[in-house]
Structure 1
Amino acid sequence: MGTWRSLRVAFVLGSLFMLLLIIAYWDDIGSFNLYPFQDLKHDSLPSDCGSRRLPSDALVSTASTIGAQRNSPVTFPPTARITLSPEDTAQARAEEDARKEGNAVPAGDRNQDVRKQRVADVCSGKNNVEFPGRTRVIEQIPYRELDHLIVDDTHQIIYCYVPKVACTNWKKVLVVLSQALISPSSGKPYTDPEAVPADIVHNSSLHLTFAKFWHHYGSLSRYLMALKLQRYTKFLFVRDPFVRLISAFRNKFGRPNEDFYKQFGSVMLRRFGNTSGSLPETAAEAFAAGIKPTFQQFIAYLLDPETEKDGVFNEHWRQVYRLCHPCQIKYDFIGHLETLEEDTEHLLKLLKVDHLLRFPSGARNLTSTSWERDWFAQIPIETRKELYKLYEPDFELFGYNKPDGLLQQQLD
């Protein structure tokens, strides 16, 4: 009986001790959060080069478990603004202030300050330039419109690629950094961007973009997007909007291109080519017969309301503000194709990858601003003015001069 009595006393004392512990730590228990990823801080982002995943294994496991317990995924309201923690905001501000410390500011940094301030002014309405989506927030942009934002978690980089603005070479750089492609000759990931095949880098499966986030992260998508946009280095490259149009036309319609002929070229010829009868079925046959879209037809197609209604404003001539959303995303670096060499050198140092690779020298796009006069000579002045209005936001956002010579006089 003595032993049994001792056990009962021990049990009572143990229970009292546990009760005291619960009372003492009640505040901590009361603040326990069933969904720890809602309090995710930047410290959970991997800084090592061995992982391509943003959340920790525990975070992914927790998110998967919670998602499996629900009949349907929980989504953020499309117009809801995601509020980051004060720590996140303070850290981002501190990093920005650190970059601006010191009296001596390198020329490259001064250029960046000017370019970024220009974007901020236009987006705030100071330049009196209105365009669709200027005032919306990032959470209101559908996933499908975020497909040009490539994410490299390993190096904490976000690159918005703009077709006809050195995007092939920048995609090569991202492939090397992310080790996303194996060289058939070595059996190892490519280490030299020059060696990466140009036709392969445009395969969308190679790149993680914001458009894929819902598939990868489900209800975590918008929150993780916000964290990465706050934490990662974001950049894009732009060029003179009219020169980019000329480059796109030369590349896609100046030589046989089956895909672009079938989807766009044949439409231009039917609407604006005054062709009678049926068109050749292939681009090769059309070019052999001397039937191909002209630059005038291309411009008429861009200005045709039916083009936008059809939803086929292709990425090669879609405005940069629609591809990269500069009013919603505060880019850390804005490069210009016209100053590609110095901008690239500066950016690789900013990204802290200049010791890992060199930017491909490659074939340069030869389309020049000096060509504009010849290309637009047959385009009526009123048509040029309409075209300028279509691309005015890009001219204003990225500091390109209004082409007054094209808009005010007839060209010989």
Structure 2
Amino acid sequence: MTDVYKGLKRFRDYQNNTNISIRNKYLYCAVDKVANSTIKALLYKIEYGEVWKENYIDRKSLREKRLSPLLSPFQLPSDLLDEVYKSDGYKRFCFVRNPYSRLLSCYLDRIADRRSFPSREVYDALGKSEELVTFKEFIELVCEQNSVKQNSHWRRQVDDVMLCKIKFDFVGKFENLNNDLLCVSKLVFGDILPELLDLGINYSPSKTNASDKLYEWYDQYLESLVYESYKQDFEAFGYDRLVFNSCS
């Protein structure tokens, strides 16, 4: 299964967002814009164990995989990597998010801001330099792309976590983050006290509150476009369509 990512996502994204602990025997498939920084910060704290220091966690260490205590696939021999993916000795988990709020959060944080690498991909693809890319333009662009071409911040989550290739022990949800992190801690680590996990602390470098703004940004056209393009995410992870009053 060393080529598990092929046909689903970019090689670099596969290496960056696949997080493996040999010490604690788990696989965490991270999804960008799904509390990735917060989840990794808590995992790092547990991985460091007795040598933990508060200054180990900063934005740079959460962004750069080379600073992570968790391993990437390329660092493991193929037989051990197969064990990580298939053995009962390893626990496998991921976290997902409502596609509507994830895409809106990505736009507000990464595209409208213009300073991130994902924003350069979008502006270049649309041939824009000065004029702001609208939310409508962003949604139309990403919905046309296949998963391999998509940036990890808006890639379809079924492909980003390689759902067709990996059998997960637990799929958590952004919308139920604290409770689901407790489920993960019990599944992987046993009895870890909630105060050790620092539940409730948001390590994200930016917070958009996108979940509360959906009806400000979506209309029936954009809602339908996202639903059809990300239909597998909605169905696989149990998310509902936005409902608009057709008479309004």
TM-score, normalised with respect to structure 1? 0.50
- Report the alpha carbon displacement of residue 153 of structure 1 after superposing the two structures with TM: 1.1
- Which whole-Å CA distance do the structure 2 matches of 1:226 and 1:362 have between them? 29
- Do residues 201 (structure 1) and 62 (structure 2) align? yes
| 1:45-64 aligned within 5 A | none
State which of 190, 194, 205 in structure 2 corresponds to 1:352: 190
Q: Out of 313-322 and 139-148, give the one that drifted further.
A: 139-148
Q: CA deviation at 1:400?
A: 0.9
In the alignment, is residue 256 of structure 1 matched against residue 114 of structure 2? yes
Q: CA deviation at 1:353?
A: 6.0
Task: Give the CA deviation at 1:159.
Answer: 0.8
Which of 237, 245, 250 aligns to 2:95? It is 237
Contact 1:234 1:332 in 2 (8 A): yes
Secondary structure of 1:141's aligned partner: coil
Residue 139 of structure 1, CA deviation: 6.4
What's 2:202 paired with?
Answer: 362
The answer on 1:175 being equivalent to 2:44 is: yes
Task: Give the superposition deviation at 1:191.
Answer: 4.1
What 5-or-longer segments of structure 2 have no aligned partner? Answer: none
Change (3 A) 1:261 1:340: closer
Residue 166 of structure 2 corresponds to residue 329 of structure 1: yes
SS at match of 2:117: helix
2:238 aligned residue: 399
Q: Kindly tell me: are residues 345 and 393 of structure 1, through their superposed partners in 2, closer, same or farther at Cα, counting changes over 3 Å?
A: same
Matches within 5 A, 1:9-408: 141-142=4-5, 144=11, 146-147=14-15, 148-179=17-48, 189-192=51-54, 196-205=57-66, 206=68, 207-210=70-73, 212-213=74-75, 216-217=76-77, 219-220=78-79, 223-226=82-85, 229-268=87-126, 270=127, 279=129, 286=130, 291-304=131-144, 307-308=145-146, 311-350=148-187, 351-352=189-190, 354-355=192-193, 357-359=196-198, 361-362=201-202, 365-377=207-219, 381=221, 383-403=222-242, 405-406=243-244
Larger RCO (alpha carbons 8 Å, 6+ apart): 2
SS at match of 2:197: coil
Measure the CA separation in 1 of the matches of 2:211 and 2:48: 36
TM-fit CA distance, 1:393: 0.7
* Equivalent residues of 1:246, 1:367 under 8 A apart: no
1:243 aligned counterpart, secondary structure: helix
Compared with structure 1, are the counterparts of its residues 359 and 153 closer, same or farther at alpha carbon in structure 2 (3 Å cutoff)?
Answer: farther
Structure with bigger gyration radius: 1
The secondary structure found in structure 2 opposite 1:249 is helix
Structure 1 CA distance, aligned partners of 2:150 and 2:51? 35
Instruction: Give me the TM-score of the superposition, normalised by structure 2.
Output: 0.80
1:263-293 deviations in Å (ceiling 9; x for gaps): 322323x2xx6xxxxx3xxxxxx4xxxx321
